[in-house]
A and B are shown apart, each in its own frame.
Chain A
Amino acid sequence: GQQVMQIPQYQHVQEGEDFTTYCNSSTTLSNIQWYKQRPGGHPVFLIQLVKSGEVKKQKRLTFQFGEAKKNSSLHITATQTTDVGTYFCAGYTGANSKLTFGKGITLSVRP
């Protein structure tokens, strides 16, 4: 079955450092989504990428969809303590397919 992988599961950074994480799929995706879950909270939709090579920015967050549509990256510039949480990627393989989530990466930021 389709697998969406996020490795590692935890990362610790110093406030102000940049952070990049990757999401890899075993199959080609029709689109990919990113969600953020704050500690004690619920997943909140951040972005959806559809086109090969697509890049989208949200303030200090930059999301990219790979050319082959099998991987994606999330880059945070100059991390802040408000960036702490777990970031999930999730992908669809096509019409009427299920949204498959990765395990997520939990980011902690040292002030």
Chain B
Amino acid sequence: ETGVTQTPRHLVMGMTNKKSLKCEQHLGHNAMYWYKQSAKKPLELMFVYNFKEQTENNSVPSRFSPECPNSSHLFLHLHTLQPEDSALYLCASSPPVGESEKLFFGSGTQLSVL
């Protein structure tokens, strides 16, 4: 248990569905992240929130929409995804961005888009 909880663990969705991934951290951190992990690729940073403000959007398609209502919760809203979006989506948290922080990852959501 890392203190970062992601739900659901697995998700299968059609290309026309709308779904949301949820992440919650109990570590008192102020920065939260979404990463995408595909086979044979480096971990891809998608979004960064620092003190609830989005500080990084790494050229992510608009079919992925993040939401950070407070420093403990992070969502990733999904709509009209493509099969190539199938991957493991990892949430992470850390102390505030800019302090050479180490990341604490959640267990991830394994997403399959049919």
Encoded as 1 (CB less than 8 Å from any A CB) or 0, chain B from 37 to 68 comes to 00011110100100000001000000000000
Taken together as a complex, chains A and B put the C-alpha atoms of A98 and B48 apart, in Å, by 10
Which of A51-59, A77-85, A88-96 forms part of the interface with chain B? A88-96
Encoded as 1 (CB less than 8 Å from any A CB) or 0, chain B from 17 to 55 comes to 000000000000000000000001111010010000000
Tell whether, in the assembled complex, residue A101 and residue B108 are in contact, meaning their CB atoms are under 8 Å apart. no
Tell whether, in the assembled complex, residue B43 and residue A88 are in contact, meaning their CB atoms are under 8 Å apart. yes
Tell me, yes or no, whether A61 is within 8 Å of chain B by CB. Answer: no
Taken together as a complex, chains A and B put the C-alpha atoms of A48 and B100 apart, in Å, by 9
Minimum CB–CB distance from B34 to chain A (whole Å) comes to: 13
Chain B residues near A92 (CB, 8 Å)? 100
Interface size on A, residues (CB 8 A): 25
Residues from 28 to 50 in A contacting B, C-beta threshold 8 Å: 30-31, 33, 35, 41-45, 48, 50
Whether A45 touches B102, Cβ cut-off 8 Å, given contacts A9-B40, A103-B42, is yes
Taken together as a complex, chains A and B put the C-alpha atoms of A100 and B93 apart, in Å, by 15
Tell whether, in the assembled complex, residue B43 and residue A95 are in contact, meaning their CB atoms are under 8 Å apart. no
Best-buried of A43, A44, A50, A104 by chain B (most CB within 10 Å) = A43
Interface residues, chain B, with chain A CB atoms under 8 Å away:
2, 40-43, 45, 48, 56, 90, 97-98, 100, 102-108
